[in-house]
């Protein structure tokens, strides 16, 4: 069953004024690791997730997007201890699709050995990068991290509904490598002293992947 995958990052003695630099560093790593260079949207949440946003702006995909510096500076003009600052940025992974035909414009496709009725496509997804004020949602940063990256469904890293032949295994491996490289880069680039890759249901992606590859082999 698909699960939601997160990366939490913590920084020693982080002051609220230093959150902007950390967010810019994290967002800036996506372009080198399968993602986009520009931010799609930003949202500022007051007090808790149940409240209505006090700021929201959608710039768009590709060249219409905002540079990370611009997006962070604009959103963090409303700097408060009990606010959370969420940014959406594009990131592409290989995903399996049933059915024939050409991929949508702007997407890469690999139909090698997959048969006429299926294909592998590099699908863009929006990843959420959220910076937490220390008082937001009763100090949620202690559990979720000063910065949390929401990757969405972990399905591309497992593809549990697909026969794990050599082609499928190669694409899953590429997705996992891209994830590992990105998480390492954002940890190093932003100066995090602790990181945790975790899932909503509490299951270990590494253990599920090892079990998946064991079945395939």
Q: Compute CA 18 distance to the chain's CA centroid, rounded to the nearest angstrom.
A: 22
Query: Residue 139: which domain range?
Result: 4-90+126-216
The answer to the question of residue 212 being in a domain is yes
The answer to the question of residue 187 being in a domain is yes
Mean pLDDT, to the nearest integer, of 135-153? 97
The answer to the question of residue 96 being in a domain is no
Report pLDDT digits (tens) over 173-208. 999 999 999 999 999 999 999 999 999 887 778 888
Quote the pLDDT of residue 109. 57
Distance CA 134, CA 4 (A): 24
Mean pLDDT, to the nearest integer, of 7-25? 97
pLDDT exceeds 50 at position 70? yes
The answer to the question of residue 174 being in a domain is yes
CB-count burial class (<10 Å; 0-12, 13-18, 19+) for 101: exposed
DSSP 3-state of 187: helix
The answer to the question of residue 202 being in a domain is yes
What are φ and ψ of residue 142, in 5° steps? -60, -35
Q: Which has more confidence, 216 or 140?
A: 140
The answer to the question of residue 115 being in a domain is no
Mean pLDDT, to the nearest integer, of 66-81? 98
Quote the pLDDT of residue 57. 98
Quote the pLDDT of residue 215. 47
Quote the pLDDT of residue 1. 65
Weakest mean pLDDT among 12-26, 149-163, 198-212: 198-212
Percent pLDDT > 70 in the chain is 88
Distance CA 125, CA 127 (A): 6
The answer to the question of residue 52 being in a domain is yes
* Total structural domains within the chain: 1
Residue 24 Rama label (left phi>0; alpha psi -120 to 50; beta): alpha
Weakest mean pLDDT among 26-30, 44-48, 96-100, 144-148: 96-100
pLDDT exceeds 90 at position 100? no
Helix (H) or strand (E) segment spanning residue 180: helix 166-190
The answer to the question of residue 110 being in a domain is no
Mean pLDDT, to the nearest integer, of 53-60? 98
pTM of the model: 0.89
């Amino acid at each position: 069953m698909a699960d939601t995958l997160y990366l939490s990052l913590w920084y020693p003695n982080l002051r609220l004024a230093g959150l902007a630099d950390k967010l810019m560093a994290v967002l800036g790593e996506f372009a080198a690791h399968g993602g986009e260079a520009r931010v799609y949207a930003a949202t500022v949440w007051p007090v808790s997730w149940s409240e209505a946003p006090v700021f929201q702006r959608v710039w768009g995909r590709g060249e219409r997007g905002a540079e990370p510096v611009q997006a962070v500076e604009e959103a963090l003009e409303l700097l408060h201890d009990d606010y959370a600052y969420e940014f959406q940025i594009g990131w592409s992974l290989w995903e399996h699709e049933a059915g024939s035909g050409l991929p949508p414009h702007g997407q890469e496709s690999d139909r090698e050995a997959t048969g006429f009725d299926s294909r592998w496509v590099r699908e863009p997804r929006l990843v959420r990068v959220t910076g937490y004020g220390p008082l937001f949602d009763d100090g949620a940063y202690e559990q979720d991290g000063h910065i949390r990256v929401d990757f969405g469904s972990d399905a591309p890293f497992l593809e549990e509904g697909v026969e794990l032949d050599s082609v499928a295994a190669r694409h899953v491996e590429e997705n996992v490598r891209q994830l590992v490289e990105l998480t390492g880069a954002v940890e190093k680039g932003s100066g995090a002293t602790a990181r945790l890759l975790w899932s909503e249901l509490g299951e270990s992606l590494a253990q599920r992947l090892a079990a998946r590859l064991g079945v395939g082999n």
